[in-house]
Structure formats: C-alpha cells, structure tokens
A and B are shown apart, each in its own frame.
Chain A
Amino acid sequence: EVQLVESGGGLVQPGGSLRLSCAASRFTFSNYSMNWVRQTPGKGLEWVSYISSNTITTHSADSVKGRFTISRDNAKNSLYLQMNTLRAEDTAVYYCARGRGERDSDQNFYYYMDVWGKGTTVTVSS
C-alpha cells in the first residue's frame, strides 16, 4: 500500500526552528509533486508548500514565505520542510500529501492530493 510517514514534530519555543521529514514508500516518489498541508487546532486545512517532482519548482503560502523551505531527496524517497522563526500560530498538525496535476485536453489545469500521511504535531510555545 502506498504510504507517507511524517516525523520531526515536537515542542519548540517561539523563534526556534524545526525540520520535518516525510518518508514515502511503495510508489515511484520521483514521479510526483509533493505538498505540506497543516491543520491548526479547531480550524481547517491550510496548504503550506508545494514542490515539483524534479525539485525545480516550489511554491509556498504567504503565511510561511521567507520562513519555511520545502525540499526533497528523490534518491531517498523523502520530503522535507525546514521551519525557521516559528510562531505560535504555526502550531498545527503537519501532513505531507502526494500531488496529482495535469492539463486536460483544453489545457485547463487540475490539481489534487490523493495520498496523505498521518501527520506530525508541531507545538510552538514557551
């Protein structure tokens, strides 16, 4: 079964740093774009970052630009999220998710996330 397993979460003080990892298995990792998505307590899903299959293209939400960096190592089937200058509002469960995006016959682009990990919890607090 296709699997994504996140790790690296924990308790960190405001202003601190943390690096999340996501290990992929049972699919050809290098063929897929990947994402980090977070869910804050009692709130909805928030997309954090995207990286293309070949690592060339990355995008991030405005709320994390300049603080978070997404990366991947296709040789290790792994996705990463380097989080710096953490704030209380970054407290959340962080999911990695496999992306599927293509253009249809009319060149309209669609994108969705078809496989999700179980998440890792990040708590930013003093």
Chain B
Amino acid sequence: SYELTQPPSMSVSPGQTASIPCSGDNLGNKYVCWYQEKPGQSPVLVIYQDVKRPSGIPERFSGSNSGNTATLTITGTQAMDEADYYCQAWDSATVVFGGGTKLTVL
C-alpha cells in the first residue's frame, strides 16, 4: 500500500517560514492536500490540488509538489498556526494520510 511520510515534529519562530515536507514514491504524480488540526477541533482543509487555498485560508499558507516530496509552507508563521498538519493523497481507490507533523511556534 502507498505510504506518505512526515516528520513527527517541527518548530519555528514567530514570523519565520515553516516548511513541512511530505514524502512518497513519485508523489509529484499525484495530487496532495493538507489539513490543519488544532487540539479539540476537527481537521480543516488548508491546501488542495497541491497549491490551491480554500476560501478563508490565509495567504501565508502555500503548497508545492514535485518529485517525491510535497511541501506545505507557512510564511510569516503566527502563534495561531501551532497545530498538527497532515498531508493526504488518493491512491488505488484509497485515501492515504501522512502520519502528521506537530508544528510548534516558539
């Protein structure tokens, strides 16, 4: 089965750029989306189709996908961006999630 790999945790200073990777075999040939999950809340879609932002998601969130790695980038990270982030792709009629990355803003 297809697997997506994310680092379990990352940290970033306020105002800096956070780049969260998601790797998978030939991932660049698939579409990737990203979800943000804060404690006690449901997941929120922040990027879909590799690079698109849903309505209401701040412009500081962006995405890219090439080769074996997709990346969620948060430019000018704010304290409110501290959360778990999950990448997701579709493969062989299944939804595949990465293991999630806990982003700490400190």
Interface residues of A, Cβ cutoff 8 Å to B: 35, 37, 44-47, 50, 59, 61-62, 95, 97, 100-101, 104, 108-114, 116-119
Interface SS of chain A:
strand
Closest Cβ neighbor of A45 among chain B residues: B97
Query: What range describes how many residues of B lie at the interface?
Result: 20 to 34
Q: Judging by beta carbons under 8 Å apart, are A47 and B95 in contact?
A: yes
Q: Judging by beta carbons under 8 Å apart, are B93 and A59 in contact?
A: yes
B57 to A: closest C-beta gap in Å: 11
Partner of B90, one of A109, A116, A117: A109
Judged by a CB distance under 8 angstroms, whether B88 is at the interface is yes
Contact partners of A47 in chain B: CB under 8 A = 94-97
Closest Cβ neighbor of A47 among chain B residues: B95
Q: Judging by beta carbons under 8 Å apart, are A44 and B95 in contact?
A: no
Mark each residue of chain B from 88 to 106: 1 if its CB lies under 8 Å from any CB of chain A, else 0. 1010011111111000000
Judged by a CB distance under 8 angstroms, whether B31 is at the interface is yes
- The answer to whether residues A109 and B95 also contact, given A44-B86, A116-B42, A116-B43 and a CB cut-off of 8 A, is no
